[in-house]
Structure 1
């Protein structure tokens, strides 16, 4: 371990994890600690380095370090702490320790365990400390373990390991239950109940906590309480985790339900226990528990027993008591409504029935419309991928359920991921005499019928009518939302009066007191095209229609009187958020009518987001959500007068020592539209204010700002004035992208250790922001070693150590991000940056010297391969290398890639994911041939060619790179795009095969388009002196600016022939595409017989398992007036590291045979043309232009 890393780690002054938990307990004495506080604390201390050893090597290394640790030597123990903090593969390590014999004597275990547990900053330290102290449990240690158990998973299991050995387990469990709240029971993983190995004490502790809440001594309910925990786990399984087949074979579930029935009386003593019984009851009736392997009659008996428990006098007494204490208690209100519906739910199960299921408060999910066929749940039986549809979607229009000629279709459930991913459950409904027949299908395979059901028509229609009119399941906010939408639909003039086209209302089941309405405006105006208002309405056990009508009437009255987007409508200090920019609508903004007080600023929300998952990039969708939450103010009339000069006058008038004056400035700026021209004018304006005053105003605007104008002005004030004190504010706001990123990076330019702050932004930012950062790194006077030697301030990394590997990996990702897309071009258009960047040379040399540590897992190996490729033939080859540095770095890469360690790591990964495209790409790159980087000793330079292929997750596919005297030509002469592909330059009639007749060949094209930002051309020919001449020019360069190269003709032709016949870079689908294209070109009759013309065949690197063959119909179309359609034929081909030529030939033969025997338009999809052409030629028009 390097001394630099050790110094930084030991300089970390964060409080130990245990001390932080004690602070929370003191803040919330004798009451549950809020979930958000626990989650934030656990995540801040979950150290999970980017580069860490793979298991079981991590566990072996730990055992070696542990056995050599001297508990009497502080430095020896500190080294063990630091190893756990930085390099521990935590999950594998804990699993290994649980199956190891005692590591050492009790005395050594207690000595080291105390240091790790009481001084630990990370989960790994605390977990190992708990394990060591469990060898001999002292009561003080048990009290500490129960404190750690408050953090839940993953801290739960090691804490249980110690508590299970304490003689006072039950009192500790009661203490935990008191401070966690039963609604947040620690839950084991699914493997603990599916037969896989796992510590059963995880179930025991959770079960004891539930039993303690039911006011029953835990010791008397070990088995039934464990059953409760199992059932709680099964109820909360994510969709797709367990299929219907799993539940049908889960005998443990039936046993758990049997145990639950025996203690239902004890559980019914609390609202929490009754809620649990109700959830289980509903799942047995209409959910997954109905699929368990019940014995005949057992399910019916359980339903009767739990129904009797829920409808008993004791239940009524418990719920009534809770409502007397708080009439709007969401849990008690939900339980009251559920029990009331049970009282009306009598009689035997019908052939067809509909149940509306509302999840309890605090549980995720939506209201479901569950269909029961002969008392069995239809959706659970056939579709484990998502919940049933909500009543608003299914029951608003009853006509969809009525059989139509020839049939009607209804969607019963949709996948929780996306419908294109896992499909949707649909039913085709038709009449057969006195029966209604359902054919159940998955939309991914609509031709396959999963099941068929037959229902009597009379009872079917009666049940549909009953379900559509039944509102007993609704809570007040939902009914208010439904009535509001009905009223707005009945009176469309209310919306048209203010220029709105439509509205939509709703209420979220988990937030029972809120409902919302969304207004839509399809016309491009200076207000949002869509925005949402939220209202609050207290929950109640019985919905009061009169009160609902009054609330809806108030909303309608306001809409009739004031425009929904006006300040008068919203009232108070709430404002509608919208921005106008050249008359285009902005993204929708959310607006709340609430009493929650001050809206958190954008900075506060960003800090919260960054702290949840340290060093995870913030996505564009998350940035949009942040803007929606804080929102910009609506510009008032006359806002055009708010110019940069006017803002400057307002700044001069501010009294910086007065909070009221600063607040008034913020309000003034909130009414200004942040146009591009205003931002540009602010950049160029000289602001005659002292540096101290600028910093005070900027700090206030950045910390409290809600609008982009406030943030732009704040960042502008700090340009040239920013110090280390304001740097954390600036770099956080810079994560928002666009002009905020560029202004923020400009403001940081003169800050000491600017590279440290830029690295922090890069670790949290996406590609477009990284491009701006890289430009600043080019101009910053920094080196990689200076960055390593600097001690990070507390804001750079909260509760985490900035390791050497992570600095290297982050900087490497920045360097690789530079050419990774057209968005980077804007940041690089005015400079030639890479050649001036000295720091990365030191970085790459350092990485090459320590490749064993920088290639510790598959992800790190992929990053190393990308680095090697860029140093070999990409933009990193143009760095200012000295002497033989570049060759030495490439040699080090080759040595590690060919080592037995990397070979074994890839082989192990291939055993479980042999067809994983990213792994296949790695395996191909490790074995491919690359021409040696040699410099010619003759008067003519050497010439070599290489096909570079990016990973499936990257933006660039295969490109042909030219190496002249070992240096890449495209990266050297053209930084605005990437090289041409092998399908263009290495096809059957390769343009690189020169003759005496000059020809022009495009070597590279800009990322946008050649017509926009140009391309790199080469005029090439064979002269009389038997040399090949290239005149290379940039199409945007001045006339006459060319670079001339001359190559030995024999060596040139031999290299082109070698590259032309070498296809080891191809993946299976790419090789199939090339051979199919060749077949179609050689035999035009294959498509010509069907009046079709061949276009192209290809497989994109981002979808390496997809083959696409494009063709046009009809071939006789010859003018623009003729109707013409484009079709694409799709095929799926498994990826592989090594292409099987025999298998490829077989697939090519199959595709060509299909084209010969079947009209290809009947087995392909329309992907281009026009609706008119489709109608004229007799094809449906639904172009799918995905590439």
Structure 2
């Protein structure tokens, strides 16, 4: 007679053991995983209960830990797998009514086939549970039992989700420990965000950051090495490729940035790093909700601006402070919960500082002609942009203002058509996933003009593409002496479950509206030579589509390069037979990089258009899209490694 199976110990105990065995108590890779022998049985149930389950449910909880796919012999039988809808239904069934003991929930999840891969559905179901106040104590006790002694990912996830709603400070150490397990990081961070933002940020960084440049800071934060935090915070390279918006926010939260600034009131290096973190949080090409989620943002802005005189006048610091001013003027910084007049006071202070000779001299013509690319780009940008956030026109009568904003070119940020309604930026207020579209798309093509016939306009697109995370659309029409924006379309905002809240209909005085759109369409002060060349080439191709159709091609995207804003790129689609109206097969995408010969934009664009008229662009362009098979069929070299 074999000995009865002994259920494994709690996941919390397993993570504690793994921490003890790990250097510095920090996990390798992206979090701890459980040993393989704990992923091949059905944990969390007494042996007697396991015998009562169907055979196909007795031996598989490997899906609880998806970081290492189970072998074919251990995989779940296909016929027992739940669809997403089925899983959502059975999870609600398992939670209704909410049991008073963890063993009951373990049993329900096991019998119904709930697995670790369903943890997001478990979180959603727990978040939607009706929990009257007189049941809070019982539910909290269940949550603590699940998180401290639960031995399956579904059960512990349910406990974490309950603590997201009902947790107290005493739960923070348990959440921080459980979150080191790869399968539980997301639920644990969410629970900690509701209780202790600093602990949540430390956990997020420990699990998420893989960049070598950031690891010393993360190690100091993860081990609580307070003396090392300040030195490591200012040491790493804060370039965009190392510092996305989410990472910037989590670093600021984990380091306790307001406290650090208070402890070091005369530290210009720390001050510069704090300013840089704010700039990266507000990065338009990332998730702008990171800045809006950072609760201490107004306090850090105020500290940075009031102490900005401590910063040495350099091009880098000028670019940072100007970026802060643009965010406060027309970016997501304007949406923070500011005391009356505070934001305007901070903008005025920045404007006065950056107007001082020691700062304005930085962007002189010599700097703009520098051989150093970053110095040259920043000097030109500051000369074009330096006073724009401080000299904005009076608010138009329509309540609509359009600001074209080119961000720091060294950060390779986008050029945005920022739309402000009653002084508040529209796009970051209602769409979190990407910036407003460029002026070449919204203004040069007249998309914001209003006519009696309604037309739909895409105002912003997710940085990963509309097909991934969506876009922001609105219908614009003229109605007598008013212009109406209505019938909004957008994906659900972060954290919203259920129907997307409807956006209000906007109405503008038509005369003032037309005047503002015309003013914005004529604004070229923000542009630079390569951007002007690209705009003129695009306009020529719009006016004369035959320039490309004669070569069986059609116009694609034309603008400055994402990696080099001083380079013009012309993209076009090639399909044999296109010019005759009988295109054959799939198209190939070509890219032509137009060299800068130093002449005025009009002359460069004329030369480029003349070359397109006289010489097949496929001879001097390069394949940049399509498929390898199609490229080889048409006799072109495929430039990518598939």
Per the alignment, do residues 1002 and 1181 of structure 1 end up closer, same or farther by CA in structure 2, a change over 3 Å counting? same
The question of 1:743 aligning with 2:144 is answered no
Q: Report what 1:1111 is aligned to.
A: 572
The question of 1:1028 aligning with 2:466 is answered no
The question of 1:1180 aligning with 2:636 is answered yes
Contact 1:771/1:817 (<8 A) preserved = yes
The question of 1:1068 aligning with 2:529 is answered yes
Q: Report what 2:508 is aligned to.
A: 1047
The question of 1:853 aligning with 2:310 is answered yes
Per the alignment, do residues 1057 and 758 of structure 1 end up closer, same or farther by CA in structure 2, a change over 3 Å counting? farther
User: Structure 1 residue aligned with 2:424, among 957, 967, 974?
Assistant: 967
Contact 1:1110/1:1127 (<8 A) preserved = yes
Q: Report what 1:1080 is aligned to.
A: 541
Describe how 1:452-467 pairs up with structure 2 within 5 A.
none
Contact 1:934/1:966 (<8 A) preserved = no
Describe how 1:823-862 pairs up with structure 2 within 5 A.
824=287, 834=292, 839-854=296-311, 856-862=313-319
Is the partner of 1:627 in helix, strand or coil?
Answer: coil
Q: Report what 1:57 is aligned to.
A: none
Q: Report what 2:560 is aligned to.
A: 1099
Q: Which has the larger radius of gyration?
A: 1
Cα displacement (A) at 1:957: 0.8
Per the alignment, do residues 1180 and 986 of structure 1 end up closer, same or farther by CA in structure 2, a change over 3 Å counting? same
Cα displacement (A) at 1:885: 1.4
Contact 1:712/1:740 (<8 A) preserved = no
Between the aligned partners of 1:716 and 1:972, the Cα distance in structure 2 is: 28
Per the alignment, do residues 692 and 1111 of structure 1 end up closer, same or farther by CA in structure 2, a change over 3 Å counting? closer
Per the alignment, do residues 1060 and 687 of structure 1 end up closer, same or farther by CA in structure 2, a change over 3 Å counting? closer
The question of 1:891 aligning with 2:331 is answered no
Contact 2:574/2:587 (<8 A) preserved = yes
Between the aligned partners of 2:379 and 2:183, the Cα distance in structure 1 is: 36
Contact 2:402/2:516 (<8 A) preserved = yes
Cα displacement (A) at 1:902: 0.9
Between the aligned partners of 2:618 and 2:121, the Cα distance in structure 1 is: 57
Contact 2:189/2:204 (<8 A) preserved = no
Q: Report what 2:8 is aligned to.
A: none
Cα displacement (A) at 1:631: 8.2
User: Structure 2 residue aligned with 1:604, among 23, 40, 45?
Assistant: 23
Q: Report what 1:229 is aligned to.
A: none
Greater shift after overlay, 1036-1045 or 1002-1011?
A: 1036-1045
What's the CA shift string for 1:750-789, capped at 9, x where partnerless? 4698699799989846537537749x96xx9x99866755
Between the aligned partners of 1:1173 and 1:693, the Cα distance in structure 2 is: 56
Is the partner of 1:1007 in helix, strand or coil?
Answer: coil
Question: Alignment length, in residue pairs?
Answer: 505
What's the CA shift string for 1:132-159, capped at 9, x where partnerless? xxxxxxxxxxxxxxxxxxxxxxxxxxxx
Contact 1:952/1:1101 (<8 A) preserved = no
Between the aligned partners of 2:340 and 2:501, the Cα distance in structure 1 is: 33
The question of 1:985 aligning with 2:433 is answered no
Per the alignment, do residues 749 and 1110 of structure 1 end up closer, same or farther by CA in structure 2, a change over 3 Å counting? closer
User: Structure 2 residue aligned with 1:635, among 33, 36, 41?
Assistant: 36
Describe how 1:535-554 pairs up with structure 2 within 5 A.
none
Between the aligned partners of 2:46 and 2:325, the Cα distance in structure 1 is: 53
Between the aligned partners of 2:626 and 2:420, the Cα distance in structure 1 is: 41
Cα displacement (A) at 1:1009: 3.7
Between the aligned partners of 1:693 and 1:1087, the Cα distance in structure 2 is: 66
Per the alignment, do residues 1058 and 758 of structure 1 end up closer, same or farther by CA in structure 2, a change over 3 Å counting? farther
Between the aligned partners of 1:837 and 1:758, the Cα distance in structure 2 is: 16
Describe how 1:420-435 pairs up with structure 2 within 5 A.
none
Between the aligned partners of 1:1086 and 1:646, the Cα distance in structure 2 is: 76
The question of 1:994 aligning with 2:450 is answered yes
The question of 1:919 aligning with 2:378 is answered yes
Q: Report what 2:117 is aligned to.
A: 677
Contact 2:139/2:162 (<8 A) preserved = no
Per the alignment, do residues 807 and 691 of structure 1 end up closer, same or farther by CA in structure 2, a change over 3 Å counting? farther
The question of 1:1126 aligning with 2:527 is answered no
Cα displacement (A) at 1:969: 1.9
Is the partner of 1:996 in helix, strand or coil?
Answer: coil
Is the partner of 1:887 in helix, strand or coil?
Answer: helix
Cα displacement (A) at 1:746: 4.0
Cα displacement (A) at 1:680: 6.2
User: Structure 2 residue aligned with 1:942, among 385, 399, 402?
Assistant: 399
Per the alignment, do residues 1145 and 896 of structure 1 end up closer, same or farther by CA in structure 2, a change over 3 Å counting? same
Cα displacement (A) at 1:925: 5.1
Cα displacement (A) at 1:744: 5.2
Q: Report what 2:320 is aligned to.
A: 863
Is the partner of 2:551 in helix, strand or coil?
Answer: coil
Q: Report what 2:473 is aligned to.
A: 1017
Between the aligned partners of 2:491 and 2:172, the Cα distance in structure 1 is: 45
Contact 1:924/1:1065 (<8 A) preserved = no
Between the aligned partners of 2:180 and 2:321, the Cα distance in structure 1 is: 27
Is the partner of 2:458 in helix, strand or coil?
Answer: strand
Cα displacement (A) at 1:960: 0.5
Question: Please, what TM-score do these two structures have when normalized by structure 1?
Answer: 0.36
The question of 1:873 aligning with 2:330 is answered yes
Is the partner of 1:1043 in helix, strand or coil?
Answer: coil
Between the aligned partners of 2:38 and 2:340, the Cα distance in structure 1 is: 66
Per the alignment, do residues 721 and 811 of structure 1 end up closer, same or farther by CA in structure 2, a change over 3 Å counting? farther
Superposition RMSD in Å: 5.3
Unaligned runs of 5+ residues in structure 2 are 1-16, 50-60, 68-115, 127-137, 219-242, 493-498
User: Structure 2 residue aligned with 1:1059, among 501, 520, 536?
Assistant: 520
Describe how 1:231-380 pairs up with structure 2 within 5 A.
none
Contact 1:1166/1:1184 (<8 A) preserved = no
Per the alignment, do residues 757 and 810 of structure 1 end up closer, same or farther by CA in structure 2, a change over 3 Å counting? farther
Cα displacement (A) at 1:935: 5.0
Cα displacement (A) at 1:816: 4.0
Between the aligned partners of 1:757 and 1:1114, the Cα distance in structure 2 is: 52
Contact 2:378/2:409 (<8 A) preserved = no
Between the aligned partners of 1:879 and 1:771, the Cα distance in structure 2 is: 17
What's the CA shift string for 1:1130-1179, capped at 9, x where partnerless? 23449xxxxx7x432333233233333332211111223344443443x2
The question of 1:1166 aligning with 2:606 is answered no
Contact 1:1031/1:1044 (<8 A) preserved = yes
Contact 1:1020/1:1030 (<8 A) preserved = yes
Select the structure with the greater relative contact order (CA < 8 A; seq sep ≥ 6). Answer: 2
Contact 2:571/2:592 (<8 A) preserved = yes
Contact 1:848/1:893 (<8 A) preserved = yes
Q: Report what 1:1006 is aligned to.
A: 462
Between the aligned partners of 2:314 and 2:182, the Cα distance in structure 1 is: 31
Cα displacement (A) at 1:900: 0.7
The question of 1:932 aligning with 2:392 is answered yes
Is the partner of 1:863 in helix, strand or coil?
Answer: helix
Is the partner of 1:972 in helix, strand or coil?
Answer: helix
Cα displacement (A) at 1:1063: 1.8
Cα displacement (A) at 1:1072: 1.4
